[in-house]
Structure 1
Amino acid sequence: MSNFQQYQYPEVSPSSQQGAVLIVVLLFLILIILVGVIAVKQSTTDLRLATSDQINTLLLQSADDAHQNIEQSVNGSSDEDIYDDMLSRTGPFGYFILDTNSSEHEYVFCFRPRDRFFDINRTSILASGGTIFGNNNGYCDPAEPEDYVSSRNASMTQVNISLTPPSADTEAFSSYTIGQDSGSISSQAYMFDINNTAVLPAYAETGIGSKNCFEQTSQLDTVTDSEDTIGGCMAAAGVPNAVIYEQANVENQSQRTKCVEFGTGGGLLCTLPSS
């Protein structure tokens, strides 16, 4: 007699099997979608980082290019026209050196390297009460194609130059050349604050309401609200920008009674351009 017993298993209907397969398929679809979403977010983040790095590089290059051109114009040959323009009474350095009432002003011009980077007829003087001359044509204008650094019309750079404010840490008579009369212009050295602000106007309007960011000061210590500075205003308006600060010492070196010109060449001796 056999001890084996037979059991009858319940039958599984085809419809219930199809439901289980559907659930598994849906789970796989959900996993695939999640993986896709994560991949898209990661690629978007990488793209933003790459774009941000490209923007920062472009802005820094635009601002630094202005510094290099200014430095070369002053240290270059005194026979060059650009040298006379920079150091003349209406130029960005000569204005402060030859005008005793200019200590609290800012000299403003738009950097245009595609032609002659500095146009002496397109400048503005910014004072605490506003522009005092220049008819506002020294400020960069996004609507002007020639105000952009390159023909791509991507970035533009505005230069703000002012005298470095006096400080208690400054050595007494450090701005005078030894062996020269203190009343002589050629014996004095002048310290300048140069702020170059590079922006990408295509990203947003370069203003807040009726306030034009280009017309704001570059001196943060003269305002109570950072939005009243050119860099702070651009940031508040959502315009990508970079401000590079440089301190320049402009002096007429002396060797006893013979003065050496600011730059090189056979140009001016012991004096600055008179106009």
Structure 2
Amino acid sequence: MSNTPRYQSLNGSISTQKGAVLIVVLLFLVLIILVGVIAVKQSTTDLRLATSDQINTLLLQSADNANQNIEQGVNGSSDADVYTDMLSRTGPFGHFILDTNSTEHEYVFCFRPRGRFFDINKTTINTKDGNILGNDIGYCNPSTAADYISDRNASMTQVNISLTAPSANNEVFSSYTVGQDSSEISSQAFMFDINSTAILPAYSGKADAAKDCFKKTSRVGTVEDDEDAIGGCMIEEGVPSTVLYEMANVENLSMRKNCVDFGKGAGVVCTLPTS
């Protein structure tokens, strides 16, 4: 009889130890699961950051590529076709230079570097009232393969050009070329706002979101709500985008000369043009 409690006590100790081991194992399993979840979340976060960085780099390159081509077109040979198109009355710069009624206009075209990056027949001119002069084929369209930067159909860039608004901080006579007759158009310098908007349509939530946003103005100072401008609309619709702004000075440099001791005997180095 005296041995029975001893066996019972031994059996109870073994059961208690088995239960403790089970609890410890469960705790280790929970810890392992938590570590795994944290690792997966961290990997997902790193992947998103890497993807975001790649997207931003691609968008910046797309927008900057448009600005570089425009600069090369204007600063290049005056005999080139693209120079003639851009400085003609229906071109993005000539329209403002040669048309005195174009002050409040906005010139729009889709950047297509796979061919001739600027097609004068595929442009749109917006007025300050929101009307369109001509047609609306200057806007980029995500459903049009030719509007993409490359055959991969990944990114596209739309260029909006307008005259820089007058400012009291501008230097006096800064709008004229030194040494030329102020009454001539060729002697005037024009400041332009160039906004190049690059997007990735494939990452947008709606198929037509980017198309509708491209039809909005790039002149942020003329709208009350950010969503009424291209950049703000893209953000509101969840379209990955970058708007690269550049201020460009366009003036006639072919006759610009620096005169030393002008009009003083033999020290005359150059003379002002007669016309």
TM-score past 0.5 threshold = yes
| Matches of 2:207 and 2:251, distance apart in 1 | 36
8 Å contact from structure 2 (residues 127, 133) kept in 1? no
- Give the aligned partner of residue 239 of structure 2: 239
Give the match's secondary structure for 1:169: coil
RMSD of equivalent CA atoms: 2.0
| Matches of 1:48 and 1:81, distance apart in 2 | 44
The residue type equivalent to 2:110 in the other structure is C
Kindly, what percent of the aligned residue pairs are identical? 70
| Matches of 1:134 and 1:212, distance apart in 2 | 19
Give the match's secondary structure for 2:118: coil
- Give the aligned partner of residue 252 of structure 2: 252
Cα 1:119–1:183, aligned 2, differ >3 Å: closer, same or farther?
Answer: same
Give the match's secondary structure for 2:154: coil
- Give the aligned partner of residue 59 of structure 1: 59
The residue type equivalent to 1:12 in the other structure is N
1:216-271 deviation line (CA, Å, top 9, x unaligned): 00011100000000000000000000011000000002235559xxxxxxxxxx8x
- Give the aligned partner of residue 260 of structure 2: none
1:182-209 deviation line (CA, Å, top 9, x unaligned): 2211111100000000001111236559
Query: How far did 1:134 drift?
Result: 3.4
Q: 4+ runs of 1 displaced by more than 4 Å? A: 206-209, 256-259
- Give the aligned partner of residue 224 of structure 1: 224
The residue type equivalent to 1:168 in the other structure is A
Higher helix proportion (structure 1 or 2): 2
8 Å contact from structure 2 (residues 209, 239) kept in 1? no
The residue type equivalent to 1:11 in the other structure is L
Of structures 1 and 2, the one with the larger relative CO (CA 8 A, separation 6+) is 1
User: Any stretches of 5+ residues in structure 2 without a counterpart?
Assistant: 1-5, 258-270
8 Å contact from structure 2 (residues 107, 160) kept in 1? yes
- Give the aligned partner of residue 136 of structure 1: 136
Residue 113 (str. 1) matches residue 105 (str. 2) = no
Query: How far did 1:17 drift?
Result: 3.5
| Matches of 2:85 and 2:232, distance apart in 1 | 30
The residue type equivalent to 1:32 in the other structure is I
Cα 1:70–1:206, aligned 2, differ >3 Å: closer, same or farther?
Answer: farther
- TM-score, normalised to structure 2, is 0.87
Give the match's secondary structure for 1:11: helix
Give the match's secondary structure for 2:104: coil
Query: How far did 1:172 drift?
Result: 1.9
* Residue-pair matches, total: 253
- Give the aligned partner of residue 151 of structure 1: 151
| Matches of 1:206 and 1:92, distance apart in 2 | 29
The residue type equivalent to 1:153 in the other structure is N
1:10-29 deviation line (CA, Å, top 9, x unaligned): 31345443322221111110
| Matches of 1:233 and 1:55, distance apart in 2 | 18
- TM-score, normalised to structure 1, is 0.87
